[in-house]
Amino acid sequence: MQSTDHWSRSTFGIYEGAMSRLYKEDQDDWMTVCLKYLLFVFNFLFWLGGAAVMAVGIWTLVDKSDYLSLLESSAFAVSAYILILAGVLVMVTGFLGCCAVIREQRSCLSMYFSCLLLIFLIELVAGVLAYVYYQQLSEELKQHLNQTMTGSYAQLGKDSITQAVDRLQQDFKCCGSKLFL
Q: What is the pTM of this model?
A: 0.62
CA separation for the pair 91, 87 (Å, rounded): 6
* Of 173, 146, 167, residue with least CA distance to 71: 146
pLDDT value of position 5 = 52
Do the Cβ atoms of 44 and 94 come closer than 8 Å? yes
Identity at 110, one-letter amino acid code:
S
Question: Model confidence over 29-69: pLDDT tens digits?
Answer: 777 788 888 888 888 998 999 999 899 889 888 887 766 66
CA separation for the pair 136, 177 (Å, rounded): 17
CA separation for the pair 8, 5 (Å, rounded): 5
Question: Model confidence over 57-100: pLDDT tens digits?
Answer: 898 888 877 666 666 667 777 888 888 998 998 898 888 888 88
